[in-house]
Chain A
C-alpha cells in the first residue's frame, strides 16, 4: 500500500510541481525505502510513522540528500549525516520523499528569495506562499506529503502555513533538537511540523521532540495528555493593534468567540505592552547571529564563499549583522534587542498566569503577488504577530481559519513554554469548528 501511495505521489509531484516549485530534490531511493517500510508493516514491526510520507526543508541534514538551503552557496552540498529529527523519523519508519524549496538560508517571509526560483501558493498561484519554509507548506497544501518539516525563527513555519491553508507548529525553544539544522539564528530557531491535520502535526512533534545530547538547549518533555477540559482564552488588544487588516482580525475574533461560546470557555484580555517592539528587536538579533553562522561558508571545506554566491536578502542580513557585531554598536543594537526579548518573555509569563492560551491572527495581511516591489520594513512586518512567540520561547500553532478574497487565513494559538499538549488540545477544538 505504501509503495503504491509513494508511486502515485511521485507521479503527481513530477506532473504538478513544475508549476508550484515546492521541491528542490526528490529522494532517489524513495521507492526502495517504501518497499522496505512496507515489508515491516506486513511483519507488524513498523514504527509510528510507517505509511506517512514526509518532506524536509532544505536546511535540515538528511544523509546523502542535498542540503542546499536554497542557495548557490551549497547547491551541490550532500549531507554527510542525519539531523537528530531525521534520525528519529527514520527510526519510526517515516518515508522521506524529498527536500523542499525555501527562502535562501531561511532569510525571507515570502518564499521569493530562493536561488532555485520562488515557490508558488497552491491556493492561488500568482501569490506568495509565505516563508521561509515555503516549499514545505506548499507541498503539504498540494498533497505531495502527509507531513513536512520546516524551521521557525520568527514565523517561518506559521506564516506559510497560514497563507497556504495548512497546520504549522512551532515548538517551544528547547523542545526539539536543532542538531543538523543549518541555522539562521541559533537562539531562536526551532524545527517543527506541517500537516493537513492537528493530529498528524502532534504525531510528528511527539517523535521529533525530547532531549538530545548534541543540543544542550533541549529538555526531556514528560508531558502528560492534557486533562483539563475547560480553558481561559485571551485575545489581546496589543495584537489587534499590530493587525492593520481589520477583516483578518475580525475573522479570528469571531472564530475565537465561537469557540468559547461552544465550549463554555472563558474569554479574557491580556496586556502585552511591548510586543510592538518585537520586530525591531528580532532583526538585530537575527542579523548578527546569521552573520556569525555564515562565517563557515568561506568556500574552503565545502560550497562557495557565501558573499559571492548569495542573493540580495542574504547579503543584506550579512552586511547588517557585520555592522551590529562591531564593538561600538553592541550597546545600541544587540544588548538592547536582548533586553526587549527578556521583557517580552516576562510579559508572556505573566499573561500565562491568568490564561491558558492567547489567540491572534497568524499573519497581519494577505499575501502579495510574487515579484511585487515592497520595502524591507513591509516584508518584515509579515512576521509581526509570529515573532513574539519566538522571542518568548513559547509554543505556537497555525490552523486554517477560513478565507478572505479566496485566500487562506490562519489563526494562531500560543501557549506557555513546554505546554505543547495543551496547545494541541485547544487546536483540536478549533479544528472541529
Chain B
C-alpha cells in the first residue's frame, strides 16, 4: 500500500477494516506470551484548583464560527446526525 492521502471509497473501507484487524492480530501474537498480573494504579494527590470559567469575550464567537450548523444563539446538533 502507499500512504499518500486519498479519498477512501466504500469498497476500500471494507478492505481497510480487514487490514486493521490483521495488523492488530499480528501484534497480538507477538505479545501473546506476556502473562497478565494484577493491575494497579499508583496515584498521589493529583487534583487541580477550580478556577472561574473562561470569560474571554471572543471565545464564544470563535466557537460559533467553527460550528457547521447554527441558528441564532444555538449550535444545531440534530439527534442522530452523527450516525
B-binding residues in A (CB < 8 A): 63-64, 76-81, 104, 108, 110, 112-115, 117-118, 213-214, 216, 277, 279-281, 283-284, 287, 298-305, 310-313, 315-317, 319-320, 323-324, 331-333, 335-340, 343, 370-377, 379
* B52 in contact (CB, < 8 A): no
Contact of B24 among A110, A279, A323, A340 (CB under 8 A): A323
Q: Are B8 and A312 in contact (CB under 8 A)?
A: yes
Determine the chain B residues whose CB is within 8 A of the CB of A371 once the complex forms.
2, 4
Return the contact of B81 from the options A281, A299, A331, A339 (Cβ within 8 A). A299
* Contact between chains at A283 and B23 (CB < 8 Å): yes
B3 near A113 (CB under 8 angstroms)? yes
Min distance, Cβ B29 to any Cβ of chain A, angstroms: 8
A303 and B5 contact, CB distance less than 8 A: no
Chain A residues contacting B67 (CB-CB under 8 Å) are 301-302
On chain B, the residues within 8 Å of A280 by CB distance are 26-28, 30-31
A78 pairs with B66, CB closer than 8 A:
yes
Nearest CB in chain B: distance from A109 CB, A: 9
* Complex Cα gap A241–B12 (Å): 36
* Contact (Cβ within 8 A) B81 A300: yes
Interface size on B, residues (CB 8 A): 49
B11 within 8 A of A: no
Q: Which of B3, B19, B32, B49 contacts A336 (CB 8 A)?
A: B32
Residues 1-54 (chain B) with a chain A CB within 8 angstroms: 1-8, 12-13, 16-17, 19-21, 23-24, 26-28, 30-32, 34-37, 39, 46-49, 51, 54
- Nearest 6 Cβ contacts at the A-B interface: A320-B20, A298-B82, A280-B30, A80-B62, A302-B66, A300-B77
Interface pair A110/B13, CB less than 8 Å apart = no
- Whether the Cβ atoms of B46 and A216 lie closer than 8 Å is yes
Interface residues of B in 46-83 (CB under 8 A from A): 46-49, 51, 54, 56, 58-59, 62-63, 65-69, 75, 77-78, 81-82
A332 CA to B27 CA, complexed, in Å: 10
Which residues in B have their C-beta under 8 angstroms from that of A335? 36, 39
Contact B46 A108 (CB under 8 A): no
